[in-house]
Structure 1
Amino acid sequence: MSDTYDIIVIGAGPGGYVAAIRAAQLGFKVAVVDRQHLGGICLNWGCIPTKALLRSAEIYNYMHEAKNFGLSVKDANFDIKAIIERSRGVAKRLNGGVELLLRKNKVDVIWGEASIESVGVVKVSPSDRAAPPKGALGVGTYKTKNIIIATGARPRVLPGLEPDKNLIWTYYEAMVPEKLPKSLIVMGSGAIGIEFASFYNTMGTEVTVVEVLPQILPVEDAEIAAFARKAYEKQGLRIMTRAKVVSVQKGADSITATIEEANGTTRQITAEKLISAVGVVPNTENLGLEKLGVTVERGIIKTDGRGATNVPGIYAIGDVAGAPMLAHKAEHEGVICVETIKGMETEPMDRNKIPGCTYSSPQIASVGLTEAKAMEAGYDIRVGRFPFLGNGKAIALGEPEGLVKTIFDRQTGALLGAHMVGAEVTELIQGFIVAMSLEATEEDLMHIIFPHPTLSEMMHESVMDAYGRVIHM
């Protein structure tokens, strides 16, 4: 161990620990600093534990539909404490896995609150989040040739709607409820809001989603979002768009939200809890960026697409480097950044090829341009669609509701975007990402043999539909 490194990474989330491991693979002496836990928000309080919760909800839903599969389940019920315990156990297991990976790759872990004293100098102070493990590196000053900032993000807080851990929750409290609320307001219909709405609705909570924009899942293709909305409402979700929570009144064990609609009228909705899911903000405060002259705009560190900031020797990846604030984007940025530092030939991240996934029921997955964005960009487009209802595997699975949509440049045949809603689409989307990355045209995709019976056949059919060659519809 040493207090001098080639690279120090500040933040051990998906971007940070992946960057550290890749740097170690390339022969750098590396340390990663974190104030609380390895794996960051994603592994401990986001991506992973929420998927564990949603899996429990999915199975619970299947139990209620058992008769549709010729099965019998009596007195289907659940233990919310056991569900939470499983979710936390999954996070703990993977947290330990990150620790083993860092140790295997000889990456030093320094525990504490990091700030940048000057270019090449990182100061680590005691953290109020967690005590360092016994014998671990901690408080001190460390020297390095390169600093990579990967400090992630935290829930956005709106004035007057500050979370109190009791009646107003963020995703932290929403993942570990002591008991299931009978009613719930979810403020925001992005991936985080919709996933929690889906989980609680499936488990029997009366859920109202409030979204200020005209459509839920605002970054998704409008047709896909509309399809998803119908499915959610069919399941019992109450959805209000063009509406915003303007104030709340707290009671002893409930909260009343005053909601303003697009026409200016207001209404009040009372629920046991309210989840604030109105996005996240980067953790760029207290790092010393201002005194170093690092360019920061609206909390986001400006980079050149390969992680470099305007100050030599200082890099930024992940949420602090801007949208989309997704774990897989952070990981990829980390690899590009480290390989650039090594002097390898790299390409700037193509944000158009970053997939987005929402793990609700039904799932949503997408990559590339929406139909509206493609038209705004001036493309002459072909659009293909194929419904789950026309796919044998979907029918056999009892999952007939869904849609696969593809968007092509009419002139070149280039795949501009792919958008899906339905069972397991978060697994299917990677096929289209690979196709886009390899610059596959519609001809390439139409000549690929897809296995039968699989859900992936719908991807093939959607491509063929865009060119008037669909078979099973």
Structure 2
Amino acid sequence: MADQYDVIVLGSGPGGYVAAIRAAQLGLKVAIVEREKLGGICLNWGCIPTKALLRTSEVYHYITHADAYGLSVEKPAFDLAKIVDRSRKVAGQLNAGVKGLMKKNKISVVEGEGTITAKGKLSVVKDGKTTELLAKDIIVATGARARDLPFAKADGKKIWTYRHAMVPTEMPTKLLVIGSGAIGVEFASFYSDMGAEVTIVEMLDRILPVEDAEVSDFMTKQLTKQKMTILTKAGVEKLEAKGAGVSATIKTADGKSVTQEFSHAIVAIGIVPNTENIGLEAAGVKTTRGHIETDPYGRTNVDGIWAIGDVAGAPWLAHKASHEGVVAAEAIAGYKGVHPMDKSNIPGCTYSRPQVASVGLTEAKAKDAGYEVKVGKFPFIGNGKAIALGEAEGFIKTVFDAKTGELLGAHMVGAEVTELIQGYVVARQLETTEHELTHTVFAHPTLSEMMHESVLSAYGRALHF
């Protein structure tokens, strides 16, 4: 006899497990199905363990530049196995935390491969045993996986995806990073700070192409200053693991093809949604390029089937998935306070050195949308706290509607901007204008003062630059 629930969540990443918790909080009987580890890719193989690695490279960078702070450190070195072990332990700790949350909220955890077999019905197979689950509503939160180059599959030895790059058994000496989105730039930053010679190849005309053009330009200069090689308007035509390394044929911006040798390559060219073999086709669920079509509440075109997170389309971010999970759970439960998802207020963060963070429209997109804009910009070199930290490289840029004072977008590059961005996210959520931001008191000395100065700059009132 099948087990009966109000909601079944297929996938336990940051979208799935949060959806399950919120549904349980609202009094629904919930089951969550997971084929690997609770927490999904983000917690186990993405967001969290990569930040542990990046913290290590940050500390190592400071150690190797200790003299700038009046300190002396003799012969700094690292143990790669211990670095990886720390990262895995961080992921393991959080995986255990998710297990505890499932227990606390009385959510049934069902291990195995889940497939929608009929309306309100899901089959889970593990070790040849099938478990049948029934529920009025099913939330699909199966996430995504790394996209391979069609002519060079990752082998985990010399050609890596992000998953392989997180658990290296050897340190690259000369690393090729294919793709310059957040994942590619973060790994480039980590391995460069740990001593690898890094080359980034990007097909578009600038790195971090979703960011404001000024941020992309600044990052190109900073990464080049860190001795990385940046190749834009370029593509990898051939990639082959050969003996002790990798041979790559790269077509550069001038149209010439050059073959270079690397010790390793990381492929970071995007993701593929996990929509195959879970019963979507038979159920009649609409997809576009593999991503499930939904409304702002997570509903698909099929009654009783919902979708959230990476599988439901861009932006492919953990916090977007979590919020979609809350929205879907509240819609299913009939919660009066439910609100539709507003993707325009989702912040984006890149945890490289320096960090990058943004929310809302870039200057170019604001102008393309027909806005007359006022733009403010304030450099880190004008901030006392940044100078004291030895982190005087970077800037904060704000974009306003010149007619209404609406904050259209904010773009940051520099130390700790992934923490600072939330101030502007809250401001946009509250529909704050330049008037409220101008009259807000910011603590001194803090990096956040630059946020205030950037707003003031947009209206010709900057005080410290």
The question of whether the paired residues in 2 share the 8 Å contact of 1:113 and 1:127 is answered with no
Task: Determine the structure 1 residue equivalent to 2:191.
Answer: 200
1:326 counterpart = 2:326: no
Task: Determine the structure 2 residue equivalent to 1:174.
Answer: 165
Deviation at 1:253, TM superposition (A): 1.0
User: Cα–Cα, structure 1 residues 127 and 437, in superposed 2: closer, same or farther, change >3 Å?
Assistant: farther
In structure 2, how many angstroms separate the alpha carbons of the residues matched to 1:52 and 1:249?
A: 30
Task: Determine the structure 1 residue equivalent to 2:146.
Answer: 155
Task: Determine the structure 2 residue equivalent to 1:63.
Answer: 63
Task: Report the RMSD for the aligned CA atoms in angstroms.
Answer: 1.2
1:428 counterpart = 2:414: no
Amino acid at match of 2:89: G
Amino acid at match of 2:56: S
1:313 counterpart = 2:304: yes
The question of whether the paired residues in 1 share the 8 Å contact of 2:33 and 2:112 is answered with yes
**Structure 1: where are the runs of 5+ without partners?**
129-137
In structure 1, how many angstroms separate the alpha carbons of the residues matched to 2:443 and 2:313?
A: 38
In structure 1, how many angstroms separate the alpha carbons of the residues matched to 2:204 and 2:145?
A: 22
The question of whether the paired residues in 2 share the 8 Å contact of 1:153 and 1:281 is answered with yes
Identity %: 59
Amino acid at match of 1:191: A
The question of whether the paired residues in 2 share the 8 Å contact of 1:111 and 1:139 is answered with no
In structure 1, how many angstroms separate the alpha carbons of the residues matched to 2:260 and 2:210?
A: 27
In structure 2, how many angstroms separate the alpha carbons of the residues matched to 1:17 and 1:223?
A: 37
In structure 2, how many angstroms separate the alpha carbons of the residues matched to 1:58 and 1:68?
A: 15
Deviation at 1:249, TM superposition (A): 3.1
User: Cα–Cα, structure 1 residues 288 and 214, in superposed 2: closer, same or farther, change >3 Å?
Assistant: same
Task: Determine the structure 2 residue equivalent to 1:142.
Answer: 133
Deviation at 1:348, TM superposition (A): 1.6
Listed one character per residue, the Cα deviations across residues 139-162 of structure 1 (whole Å, up to 9, x for unaligned) are: 311111110000000001121021
The question of whether the paired residues in 1 share the 8 Å contact of 2:152 and 2:240 is answered with no
Task: Determine the structure 2 residue equivalent to 1:419.
Answer: 411
In structure 1, how many angstroms separate the alpha carbons of the residues matched to 2:240 and 2:432?
A: 54
In structure 2, how many angstroms separate the alpha carbons of the residues matched to 1:348 and 1:55?
A: 35
In structure 1, how many angstroms separate the alpha carbons of the residues matched to 2:310 and 2:412?
A: 25
Amino acid at match of 1:69: Y
- Out of 385, 400, 406, the position equivalent to 2:377 is 385
In structure 2, how many angstroms separate the alpha carbons of the residues matched to 1:263 and 1:184?
A: 22
In structure 1, how many angstroms separate the alpha carbons of the residues matched to 2:190 and 2:308?
A: 31
Listed one character per residue, the Cα deviations across residues 362-411 of structure 1 (whole Å, up to 9, x for unaligned) are: 00000000011001101000000000000000000000001000000000
**Structure 2: where are the runs of 5+ without partners?**
none
Task: Determine the structure 2 residue equivalent to 1:36.
Answer: 36
User: Across the two proteins, how many residue pairs are aligned to each other?
Assistant: 464
SS in 1 for 2:258: strand
Q: Decide which moves more: 339-348 or 17-26.
A: 339-348
1:243 counterpart = 2:220: no
Task: Determine the structure 2 residue equivalent to 1:85.
Answer: 85
TM-score (norm 1): 0.97
Task: Determine the structure 2 residue equivalent to 1:446.
Answer: 438
- Out of 223, 232, 247, the position equivalent to 1:232 is 223
Listed one character per residue, the Cα deviations across residues 238-291 of structure 1 (whole Å, up to 9, x for unaligned) are: 110000001123311111110112332111121011100001111000011111
The question of whether the paired residues in 2 share the 8 Å contact of 1:414 and 1:439 is answered with yes
Listed one character per residue, the Cα deviations across residues 293-333 of structure 1 (whole Å, up to 9, x for unaligned) are: 11111101000110100111000000011000100000000
Amino acid at match of 1:85: D
- Out of 463, 466, 472, the position equivalent to 2:464 is 472
In structure 1, how many angstroms separate the alpha carbons of the residues matched to 2:252 and 2:219?
A: 22
Deviation at 1:351, TM superposition (A): 0.9
- Out of 213, 217, 228, the position equivalent to 1:222 is 213
The question of whether the paired residues in 2 share the 8 Å contact of 1:35 and 1:127 is answered with no
Task: Determine the structure 2 residue equivalent to 1:294.
Answer: 285
Deviation at 1:353, TM superposition (A): 0.5
Deviation at 1:350, TM superposition (A): 1.0
In structure 2, how many angstroms separate the alpha carbons of the residues matched to 1:203 and 1:2?
A: 53
Amino acid at match of 1:17: Y
User: Cα–Cα, structure 1 residues 461 and 143, in superposed 2: closer, same or farther, change >3 Å?
Assistant: same
SS in 2 for 1:86: helix
In structure 2, how many angstroms separate the alpha carbons of the residues matched to 1:437 and 1:295?
A: 31
In structure 2, how many angstroms separate the alpha carbons of the residues matched to 1:166 and 1:88?
A: 19
In structure 2, how many angstroms separate the alpha carbons of the residues matched to 1:405 and 1:107?
A: 44
Q: Decide which moves more: 71-80 or 387-396.
A: 71-80
In structure 2, how many angstroms separate the alpha carbons of the residues matched to 1:224 and 1:177?
A: 30
Deviation at 1:67, TM superposition (A): 1.3
Task: Determine the structure 2 residue equivalent to 1:102.
Answer: 102
Deviation at 1:2, TM superposition (A): 7.7
In structure 2, how many angstroms separate the alpha carbons of the residues matched to 1:158 and 1:397?
A: 41
SS in 1 for 2:15: helix
